[in-house]
Amino acid sequence: MAKTTSNSSNSVSVVRSEMAPDMPPPIRTDGIVAWLRSNLFNSVSNSILTILSVLMIYYALSALIGYVVADAIWQGTTGTDCRVEGSGMCWPYIFNKLDFFIYGFYPDTEYWRPNIAFAIGAVLLFLLATPRIPGKMIWGFLFLIVYPVVTFFLINGGGFTGLVEVPTEKWGGLMLTLVVAVTGIVASFPLGILLALGRRSKMPMMRSVCVVFIELWRGVPLITVLFMASVMLPLFLPEGTNFDKLVRALVGVTLFTAAYTAEVVRGGLQAVDKGQYEAADALGLNYAQATTLIILPQALKMVIPGIVNNSISLFKDTTLVSIVGLVDILGAVRAASASQGWTAPTIPITGYFFAAAVFWVFTFAMSRYSQYMERQLDTGHKS
């Protein structure tokens, strides 16, 4: 009331009679500057952290790029050319030994065979992995059942194939790494699902067998499994039988990974709502139908990150086969650093850099694909 009274002495007009004072221009609300301001420099502590992070990234990257690109030696034919003080990576060594890193001791006239096998695998994998392309059953059958057999005969040769036999001792490098990783991942997956179902089975015998298997294999480090397979197993087998060393390693890797996959899948099975099981029963589906049509599709979708995690971890663990004398890519890098003509101080580091880069490319691709699949299969359960 008092306010009205005091104002009443002036004009009662509600229209402003003088210009409002100029305001400073508004802070931009879009564009990169605004984004930086609101996300990276919105407080003192955040600003400090931002600057520190940028500095750290700068130092790490400049050192890396300096080593790999700027200070690296690009021209040359022997290790002597890389013997420059303060130089970085020795690229001529990589170029010269690239075929060894990829194929190991595989004879160079036969490189086309693993190449074709790689190509078929890549095409089948693409057909199988791209959701838009129909006929998944066919591609799956070709990739999981036919492809391993074809690949084996193509790379190994001999027998009815009419190709020169290349025994597994000569397989090596990235080729061997991929053989071990793909076999391990592909073969362990169905085995893992069966073990997971078995562990949740109502049949006591089945359940205990699966539990014992899983706990036994999970309780042992992979290096021990490989060592047992490679060194101890031949001593237990009756004299006169001797399995191929690569097969022994593959079996070890597969059974080991299957135990881990089983536990991941079991996690998915447990996360499927009880109502789904009951609904399946109510529809009159039997166990096999309920499992394959209702339960597994939901369970597997949920455990994609876990399975990919397993696969990535297995892919990297394949380097352990080098301790049982299989020359995988890491073994090839190690062996090549002792080869004649390449003796500069930077040679071993260069080889390890290369192996690390190869591993990163493969695992990063796997991880991106799994994220893509998660989005594809997302039916809204995820927050």
Partner 1 sequence: MQKKLILAALATAFGMSATASNAASDGGTLQAVTDKGFVQCGVTGGVRGFSAPDADNNWSGLEVDFCRALGAAIFDDVDAVRYTPLTSTERFAALSSGEIDVLSRTTTWTMTRDTSLGINFVGVMFYDGQGFMVRKSDGIDSAFDLDGASVCIEAGTTTELNAADFFSSNDIAVNTVVFEEQDEVIQAYQDGRCDVFTTDSSALAAERLSLEDPGAHVILSEIISKEPLGPSVRQGDDAWFNLNRWVYFLLLNAEELGVTQANVDEMLASDNPAIKRLLGVEGTYGDMIGVSNDWGYRIIKALGNYGEMYERHVGPQTEIGIARGVNALWTDGGIQYAPPVR
157, 334, 367, 370: which one binds partner 1 (CB under 8 A): 334
User: Contact between 83 and partner 1 (CB under 8 A)?
Assistant: yes
**How many other C-beta atoms can be found within 10 angstroms of the C-beta atom of residue 193?**
22
Q: How far is the CB of 61 from partner 1 (least distance, A)?
A: 27
Which of these ranges, 58-66, 114-122, 226-234, 364-372, lies near partner 1 under the rule CB under 8 A? 226-234
CA angle in degrees (0–180, nearest 5) for 38-40-45: 110
User: CA-to-CA distance for 54 and 57, rounded, in angstroms?
Assistant: 5
User: CA-to-CA distance for 343 and 82, rounded, in angstroms?
Assistant: 9
4, 9, 241, 379: which one binds partner 1 (CB under 8 A): 241
Choose between 234 and 306: whose C-beta lies nearer to partner 1: 234
1, 20, 137, 235: which one binds partner 1 (CB under 8 A): 235
314, 324, 329, 358: which one binds partner 1 (CB under 8 A): 324
Q: How far is the CB of 54 from partner 1 (least distance, A)?
A: 33
Buried b (16+ CB within 10 A) or exposed e, 234-268: eeeeeeeeeeebbebbbbbbbbbbbbbbbbbbbeb
Task: Please tell me whether residue 310 adopts helix, strand or coil conformation.
Answer: helix
Q: What are phi and psi of 29, to 5 degrees?
A: -105, -5
User: Contact between 316 and partner 1 (CB under 8 A)?
Assistant: no
Nearest in space to 207 (alpha carbons), one of 271, 256, 266, 255 = 266
User: Contact between 76 and partner 1 (CB under 8 A)?
Assistant: no
Alpha helices in 272-346 (DSSP H): 274-282, 287-289, 296-302, 304-317, 329-336
Which of these ranges, 61-69, 263-271, 308-316, 318-326, lies near partner 1 under the rule CB under 8 A? 318-326
Quick one: tokens of 316?
């990297």
Choose between 228 and 300: whose C-beta lies nearer to partner 1: 228
User: Contact between 167 and partner 1 (CB under 8 A)?
Assistant: yes
User: Contact between 92 and partner 1 (CB under 8 A)?
Assistant: no
User: Contact between 113 and partner 1 (CB under 8 A)?
Assistant: no
User: Contact between 234 and partner 1 (CB under 8 A)?
Assistant: yes
User: CA-to-CA distance for 350 and 81, rounded, in angstroms?
Assistant: 14
297, 345, 364, 378: which one binds partner 1 (CB under 8 A): 345
Q: What are phi and psi of 177, to 5 degrees?
A: -55, -45
Which of these ranges, 129-137, 193-201, 276-284, 345-353, lies near partner 1 under the rule CB under 8 A? 345-353
Q: What are phi and psi of 238, to 5 degrees?
A: -60, 145
User: Contact between 240 and partner 1 (CB under 8 A)?
Assistant: yes
User: Contact between 121 and partner 1 (CB under 8 A)?
Assistant: no
- Output helix, strand, coil percentages for the chain, rounded to the nearest 5: 70, 0, 25
Q: Which residues contact 265 (CB under 8 A, 6 or more apart)?
A: 192, 193, 196, 299, 300, 303, 307
User: Contact between 355 and partner 1 (CB under 8 A)?
Assistant: no
**How many other C-beta atoms can be found within 10 angstroms of the C-beta atom of residue 377?**
14
66, 190, 221, 325: which one binds partner 1 (CB under 8 A): 325
User: Contact between 108 and partner 1 (CB under 8 A)?
Assistant: yes
User: Contact between 156 and partner 1 (CB under 8 A)?
Assistant: yes
* Residue owning tokens 């591609």: 139
User: Contact between 100 and partner 1 (CB under 8 A)?
Assistant: yes
Q: CB of 72 within 8 A of CB of 88?
A: yes
User: Contact between 152 and partner 1 (CB under 8 A)?
Assistant: yes
User: Contact between 237 and partner 1 (CB under 8 A)?
Assistant: yes
113, 199, 248, 266: which one binds partner 1 (CB under 8 A): 248
Choose between 131 and 325: whose C-beta lies nearer to partner 1: 325
257, 291, 310, 337: which one binds partner 1 (CB under 8 A): 337
One-character DSSP codes across 186-221: HHHHHHHHHHHHHHT-S-HHHHHHHHHHHHHHHTS-
User: Contact between 193 and partner 1 (CB under 8 A)?
Assistant: no
Task: State the residues that interact with partner 1 by CB under 8 A.
Answer: 83, 85, 99-100, 103-106, 108, 148-149, 152-153, 156, 159, 167, 169, 227, 230-232, 234-235, 237, 239-245, 247-248, 250-251, 254-255, 322-327, 331-332, 334-341, 343-345, 347-348
